[in-house]
Structure 1
Amino acid sequence: MATLFSKLVTRADIEGCLAIPACSLGPLPSQQGHSMNMRVHDDEGQEWTFPCFIQRNENVEPFLSVGWIEFARQRNLRIDDKVSIHEEIIKIQDTATFIRIQVERKLRVFGADIWATVKN
């Protein structure tokens, strides 16, 4: 499993959309405003479809604006939770590539910080 992208969640991510640098996900259309859907699976096997748009900003490289509000609300995401997008290659009958989304929250247990998976 390869990690394609990982970041700490911000208020803008929770209230609007998740911003992912376009270069994180391999070759994407470079044209601003281009839209597509990203199909991901969560840790419980549920499939999610996130609408995505290529955006540009004067200060940064092109990025993918990912509509994931329903997912963020269902998981009750908080600022500084960690979201990661992984690519998994699975061989069942044919080889297939799946994109998996994982959300973790930092917890303090017996004086040590640990990351625990955030589930429904």
Structure 2
Amino acid sequence: MEVVFNKELKPTDIQHRFSVPSRSLQYIDFAGEFSVDLRVKDSSGEVRVFRCRKRHGEYAKPELSRGWRRYVTDYELRVGDRAVLLAEEDRRLGSQFRIEAKRRIILFGQEVRGDLPRPD
């Protein structure tokens, strides 16, 4: 299992779309297209489909759009939380990746990260 990205969420990531670090492009097969649907297993075992688009031109920064906002809502993500995407092939579920949400917690003045399960 490889970490594709581990990113602290910014306001735009929560409110609109998730800006994916450019170094993550090596893990995503666009097959000559500018967008691809990624099958991603979340921490509750649900397979989600995120649309990953990259910009046209020399600076092909990717972003997650379709499906991302639903994930944000389902997990009640907020600015300062972290999203961790892991490359993990699950042939049974047909997913290519696994995503985890980490909540930012201040405990005795120290910042720690806790796994964020999906609220019921």
Indicate the TM-score class for this superposition, using the shorter chain for normalisation.
0.7 to 0.9
Q: CA deviation at 1:76?
A: 1.1
**CA distance in structure 1 between the aligned counterparts of 2:62 and 2:6, rounded to whole angstroms:** 14
Please state how far the C-alpha of 1:57 moved relative to its aligned partner: 8.0
1:48 is matched with 48
* 2:62 pairs with 1:64: yes
Question: Displacement of 1:25 after TM fit?
Answer: 3.5
Give me the whole-angstrom Cα distance separating, in 1, the residues matched to 2:46 and 2:109. 34
Query: Is the CA contact (8 Å cut-off) linking 2:39 and 2:95 kept in structure 1?
Result: no
Q: Tell me, which stretches of 5 or more residues in structure 1 are unaligned?
A: none
Task: Report what 2:112 is aligned to.
Answer: 114
Count of residue pairs brought into register by the alignment: 114
Report deviation, 1:35.
1.8
What TM-score do the two structures reach when normalised by structure 1?
Answer: 0.78
Output the amino acid matched with 1:12: T
- Partners of 2:74 and 2:112 lie apart in 1 by 22
CA contact (8 A) 1:30 1:54 kept: no
Unaligned runs of 5+ in 2: none
TM normalised by structure 2 equals: 0.78
Give the alignment's Cα RMSD to 1 decimal.
2.7
The superposition leaves residues 49-71 of structure 1 with CA deviations (integer Å, 9 ceiling, x where unpaired) of: 0112111588xx31112120000
96-105 or 61-70, which moves further after superposition?
96-105
Q: Which has the higher strand share?
A: 1
